[in-house]
């Protein structure tokens, strides 16, 4: 049976560190995808209304938008009269535009958001064509390049983060495996002695594998505490990041960290113990 040694602390420490870093990569991946989605969902489609549109036309359009498939559920189309738009523009420019004595060049607008599935150039073009022929509509505008850029960057970022996470998992596996190998090196004679007195491989391996499960869970919990602590701190400093917005996905991330810690440590212990069991007595020296 293995006895507690400082080596075990190294295993737990290394594993916790690696899981913490993996947790950060996971968190970053989730957060990046969440923020990208937020950004995409908040992209305004602007419908400019004709100067002489009627109140009925405007209200009918608002109702039609609310009922449309391409309208983002949970949001409401907003009507912005040209007077208010001018006032907001003046506030942005820090000038009173009324003083210039010019006619208001702006038009009344309705803005609305669409779900992510419609954020493709062709879908947006189809929506624009549909709206443009409606009575009272002067034009439909949106930042076409911006949409494409967001989508492309989101895809690219996703691949980069996925690659980074895979690389990290590989390095983590190797690092942990090496630490476990060093940790069990001290037990190689105990393993061989058990074999020579007639213990089965299962009996010899069992305590090491149980220890691996315990260490894996402990390391996972330490890493989770670290990730959660960092999340709480970041949320207090930068609340706009909205780090706890998706509890289900976070649950999967936390569960994944625990499971990965357990799995990496268990597999490493299994492989190393089997390796020592297969070694001949002479090769142990």
Partner 1 sequence: MAEAIVELRGANIQQGGRNILENVDLRIAPGEFVYLVGKTGAGKSSLLKTLYAALPLGGGSATVAGFNLAKTGRKKIPQLRRKLGIVFQDFNLLMDRSVEENLRFALRATGWKKGTLAEQRIDEVLMAVGLADRRRSMPHTLSGGERQRIAFARALLNSPTLFIADEVTGNLDPDTSKNILELMRKLGKEHGTAVLFATHDYRLLDTFQARVVRCEGGRVFNAEG
Residues in contact with partner 1 by CB under 8 A are 1, 3, 189-190, 192-201, 203-204, 280-281
- 110: CB partners within 8 A, 6+ apart: 46, 47, 49, 58, 61, 62, 65, 77, 78, 79, 80
First to last CA, the chain: 21
d(CA 211, CA 7): 12
Task: Quote the least distance from Cβ 13 to partner 1, whole Å.
Answer: 23
CA angle 244, 247, 250 (to 5 degrees): 85
For residue 54, what are its two tokens? 């009627």
Nearer to partner 1, 28 or 201 (CB): 201
Contact 137, 47 (CB under 8 A): yes
Task: Quote the least distance from Cβ 197 to partner 1, whole Å.
Answer: 5
Task: Quote the least distance from Cβ 202 to partner 1, whole Å.
Answer: 9
Task: Quote the least distance from Cβ 192 to partner 1, whole Å.
Answer: 8
Nearer to partner 1, 183 or 231 (CB): 183
Task: Quote the least distance from Cβ 34 to partner 1, whole Å.
Answer: 52
Closest CA to 212 of 183, 169, 253: 183
Nearer to partner 1, 9 or 39 (CB): 9
Nearer to partner 1, 182 or 199 (CB): 199
CB atoms within 10 A of CB 54: 12
Nearer to partner 1, 182 or 281 (CB): 281
């Amino acid at each position: 049976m293995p006895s507690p040694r400082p080596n075990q602390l190294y295993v737990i420490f290394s594993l916790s560190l690696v899981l913490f870093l993996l947790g950060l990569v996971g968190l970053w991946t989730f957060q990046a995808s969440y923020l990208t989605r937020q950004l995409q969902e908040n992209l305004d489609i602007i419908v400019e209304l004709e100067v002489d549109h009627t109140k009925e036309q405007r209200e009918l359009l608002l109702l039609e938008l609310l009922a449309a498939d391409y309208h983002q559920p949970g949001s409401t189309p907003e009507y912005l009269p040209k007077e208010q738009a001018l006032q907001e523009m003046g506030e942005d420019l820090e000038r009173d535009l009324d003083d210039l004595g010019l006619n208001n060049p702006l038009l009344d607008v309705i803005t609305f958001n669409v779900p992510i599935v419609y954020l493709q150039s062709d879908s947006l073009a189809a929506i624009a064509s549909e709206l443009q022929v409606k009575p009272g509509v002067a034009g439909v505008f949106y930042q076409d390049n911006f949409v494409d850029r967001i989508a492309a960057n989101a895809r690219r970022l996703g691949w980069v983060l996925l690659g980074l996470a895979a690389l990290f998992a590989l390095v983590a596996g190797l690092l942990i495996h090496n630490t476990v190998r060093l940790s069990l090196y001290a037990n190689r004679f105990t393993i061989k002695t058990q074999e020579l007195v007639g213990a089965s491989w299962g009996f010899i391996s069992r305590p090491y594998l149980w220890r691996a499960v315990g260490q894996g869970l402990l390391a996972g919990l330490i890493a989770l505490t670290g990730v959660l602590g960092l999340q709480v701190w970041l949320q207090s400093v930068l609340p706009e990041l909205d780090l706890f917005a998706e509890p289900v996905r976070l649950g999967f991330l936390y569960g994944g960290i625990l499971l990965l810690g357990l799995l990496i440590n268990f597999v490493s212990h299994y492989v190393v113990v089997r390796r020592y069991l297969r070694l001949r007595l002479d090769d142990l020296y």
